[in-house]
Amino acid sequence: MAKRILVVEDNDLNRKLFCDVLKANGFEVEPVADGELALNAARAFAPDLAIMDIQLPNISGLDLIAAMKRDASLCDVPVLAVTAYAGKGDEERIRDAGAADYLSKPVSIMPFMAAVKKLLDQAPQ
């Protein structure tokens, strides 16, 4: 059965790129453009991994990660944070919120897929 990946990204091009690459690698993908819809989408989709943009309109990706970690049905889902804001201290804040790994934009395909596969391999079955 294909692993399921939730992609929370407000930028249309980035969301399409992530989804296309993941689908091409055999994953089932659920794209979400609006962070405010992400938790309900995650509960309905039951992902094996969430890819989370940090800079989202209306709600921070950090807040979404923290909310997922507080949710009994989502707390075990690893989160790969993807952000354009990779300043000093950002990685620590992102990991403190509960992200399992972190990539800065622009994202290259090889490191992106390596991070996805690593997190899926580490996830509880």
- pLDDT of 64 higher than 70: yes
- pLDDT of 101 higher than 90: yes
Give the sign of the dihedral formed by CA 104, CA 68, CA 43, CA 38: negative
At 87, the pLDDT band (50, 70, 90 cuts) reads confident
Residue ranges of the domains in the chain? 4-122
The SS3 of residue 65 is: helix
- pTM for the structure as a whole: 0.95
Write down the CATH number for the domain with range 4-122: 3.40.50.2300
Average pLDDT, rounded, for the chain: 94
